[in-house]
């Protein structure tokens, strides 16, 4: 399989889920290095500050030198240029994700002609999973073990004071 040097996987990751982690691990089949880019995205009113989200992700992948985690509050194509990355990875869970992702991919290509998008679907057990669902479960004192890693579960419990 032909591998590119670097890819970038952007998202809000508020919080990162096992579905996101699945996409990260599968992305490494295509790239020698993967940059997980954590978006500030104040429009979504995140539960966690960008620094907290970066820390959680760094904890998860602390033993993997092929993964770098950065926070950003700029256009993705500008960050990609700065980091010399030409391929963005995006996860598609359902048909409902496709329209938005297509719009973003085409817009990014207009902003940067050499920028490509690679769409990956998560493994079947994570197709339904989203950060919003995880936060809802956490807010109602539900079992998070199937959806997030232990460090993320602890931070969610701390946020909801469990």
Active site residues: 20, 44, 93, 131
Measured CA to CA, the distance from residue 159 to residue 138 in angstroms comes to 9
Selection from 103, 119, 141, 126 nearest residue 16 by Cα: 126
Measured CA to CA, the distance from residue 61 to residue 59 in angstroms comes to 6
Please confirm whether the linkage preceding 130 is cis (ω < 30° from 0): no
76-83 and 95-111 helices cross at what angle (nearest 10)?
Answer: 60
């Amino acid at each position: 399989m032909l591998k590119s040097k670097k890819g970038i996987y952007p998202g809000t990751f508020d919080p990162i889920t096992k579905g996101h982690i699945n996409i990260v691990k599968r992305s490494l089949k295509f790239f020698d290095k993967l940059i997980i880019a954590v978006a500030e995205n104040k429009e979504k009113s995140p539960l966690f500050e960008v620094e907290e989200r970066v820390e959680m992700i760094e904890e998860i992948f602390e033993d993997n030198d092929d993964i770098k985690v950065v926070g950003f509050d700029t256009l993705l194509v500008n960050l990609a240029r700065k980091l010399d990355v030409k391929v963005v990875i995006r996860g598609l869970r359902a048909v409902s994700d496709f329209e938005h992702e297509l719009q973003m991919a085409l817009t990014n290509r207009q902003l940067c002609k050499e920028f490509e998008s690679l769409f990956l679907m998560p493994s079947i057990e994570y197709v339904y999973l989203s950060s919003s669902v995880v936060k809802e479960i956490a807010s109602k004192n539900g079992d998070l073990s199937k959806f997030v890693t232990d460090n993320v579960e602890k931070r969610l419990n701390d946020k909801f004071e469990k």
